[in-house]
Structure 1
């Protein structure tokens, strides 16, 4: 979802940049409404992707918190059930580690998400590298070497007037 959101963000920025650079032409031709509509459509598409990504991130966060809380509950339950055989230091250490697992799970998921988000940049660079190169800018049918280097235009017996009688 992050990848889709990142890809849908690019048209928003490019359209905004192009609109700002061509604002005078847009106003001159009176097509402001068309450009506003295009911008709204692109932002809407991006926001659909962003909202879905945000909601799924929150959903995953709740699930990870639940898993962490279940681990804490079982660590505490085990400590209570085995209170006669376990030493207090071991109980405290196990509950302390169980409390840290929730943060570690969230951190691991965030790092995996960041890696996936940043890999989009690498994919774009790879796509740009695979674009076929354009040919060299040369005019293939070159003129004959005897062709004149400089041209001139001559007017012989040429007259110009606005109307008859002038």
Structure 2
């Protein structure tokens, strides 16, 4: 219907054909500008929402421990903080949508104004019935263009979740396969339960600080060893 309306305008107003490519270029540039910003804000909102869900799940699973240590207020305040951070990104997403809709409406309204002026000032020989036909179609196209470009942008924003799933499934580095018996090991290994670490450095992933630095331990056979840490330390 948008294409048919533009063709109708070009038939009745031949000079309008010059304006159509300019308007389309401006629409595409505006869409790209909004899309780049909205996509990143949507990613932030998805990350913050994951933090809220994770905190909620941890609170439910550790409810007895939280009550035992009387830490309800601390967990409530931390949950409120995470929800506020998520809402900041969510409100920014809504504000960007309104910004895009207003700019699109202004641009398309200028298109309708241009056609109305060309018709009313009799730049072209066009009768009153054709003028009414053109304006009625143009006013319908105004809303359709806004909704169409907005839907196009929102589809990509909502696909951020699919992008994250694809990243987790295909792009995260995987651990090497576990080899139980190597060519240089005794088939009866291990013969005794001894574990020895010498100056081991461990971290959760690349770029994070080391959780263990120069860690050394020598566990003898038949020893009972207990490792203690804070809740969630693994």
Q: 1:73 aligned to 2:122?
A: no
Q: 1:144 aligned to 2:188?
A: yes
Normalised by the length of structure 2, the TM-score is 0.54
What is the match of residue 19 of structure 1? 59
CA offset at residue 142 of structure 1?
8.1
CA offset at residue 56 of structure 1?
1.9
More helix by share: 1
Superposed counterparts of 1:103-114, under 5 Å? 103-114=143-154
CA offset at residue 49 of structure 1?
1.0
Checking the alignment, whether the CA contact within 8 Å between 2:66 and 2:72 is kept in structure 1 is yes
What is the match of residue 101 of structure 1? 141
What is the match of residue 99 of structure 2? 59
What is the match of residue 50 of structure 2? 10
What is the RMSD computed on CA atoms of the aligned residues? 2.7
Structure 2 unmatched runs, 5+: 1-40, 192-234
Structure 1 unmatched runs, 5+: 148-166
Q: Distance in 1 between matches of 2:126 and 2:112?
A: 17
SS at match of 2:56: helix
Of structures 1 and 2, the larger Rg is shown by 1
Q: Distance in 2 between matches of 1:142 and 1:38?
A: 52
Q: Distance in 2 between matches of 1:84 and 1:113?
A: 37
SS at match of 1:132: coil
Distance change (3 Å), C-alpha of 1:59 and 1:114: closer
More strand by share: 2
Q: Higher relative contact order at CA 8 Å, sep ≥6: structure 1 or structure 2? A: 1
Distance change (3 Å), C-alpha of 1:126 and 1:11: same
SS at match of 2:167: helix
SS at match of 2:188: coil
Checking the alignment, whether the CA contact within 8 Å between 1:72 and 1:98 is kept in structure 2 is yes
